[in-house]
Amino acid sequence: MGVKTIMVIGAGQMGAGIAQVCAQAGYEVFLNDLKPEFVERGLSGIKKNLNRNVDKGRMTAAQMEAAVSRIAASTDLQDAGKADLVIEAAVENIDIKAKIFAQLDEIAPEHAILASNTSSLPITEIAAATKRPEKVIGMHFMNPVPVMKLVEIIRGLATAEEVYQTIEEITKTLDKVPVEVNDFPGFVSNRILMPMINEAIYTLYEGVAEKEAIDEVMKLGMNHPMGPLTLADFIGLDTCLYIMETLHEGFGDDKYRPCPLLRKYVKAGWLGKKSGRGFYTYE
For helices 189-205 and 237-251, what crossing angle results, to 10°?
110
Q: Check whether 92 is labelled as a binding-site residue.
A: yes
Q: Check whether 33 is labelled as a binding-site residue.
A: yes
Q: Are strands 136-141 and 85-88 parallel, antiparallel or unpaired?
A: unpaired
Q: Check whether 223 is labelled as a binding-site residue.
A: no
The set of catalytic residues is 119, 140, 152, 190
Q: Check whether 269 is labelled as a binding-site residue.
A: no
16 in Cβ contact with 31 (< 8 Å): yes
174 in Cβ contact with 189 (< 8 Å): no
Q: Check whether 273 is labelled as a binding-site residue.
A: no
Q: Check whether 119 is labelled as a binding-site residue.
A: yes
Q: Check whether 275 is labelled as a binding-site residue.
A: no
Q: Check whether 1 is labelled as a binding-site residue.
A: no
Q: Check whether 84 is labelled as a binding-site residue.
A: no
Rg for the chain (alpha carbons), in Å? 19
Q: Check whether 95 is labelled as a binding-site residue.
A: no
Closest alpha carbon to 86 in 105, 70, 67: 105
Backbone dihedral region for residue 269 (phi beyond 0: left; psi -120 to 50: alpha; all else: beta): left
Phi, psi angles (nearest 5°) of residue 148: -80, 135
10 in Cβ contact with 32 (< 8 Å): yes
Q: Check whether 14 is labelled as a binding-site residue.
A: yes
Whole-Å CA distances, 93 to 117, 125, 174: 12, 12, 26
Q: Which residues are annotated as a binding site?
A: 10-15, 33, 92, 97, 119, 143, 274
Q: Which residues are annotated as a binding site for NAD(+)?
A: 10-15, 33, 92, 97, 119, 143, 274
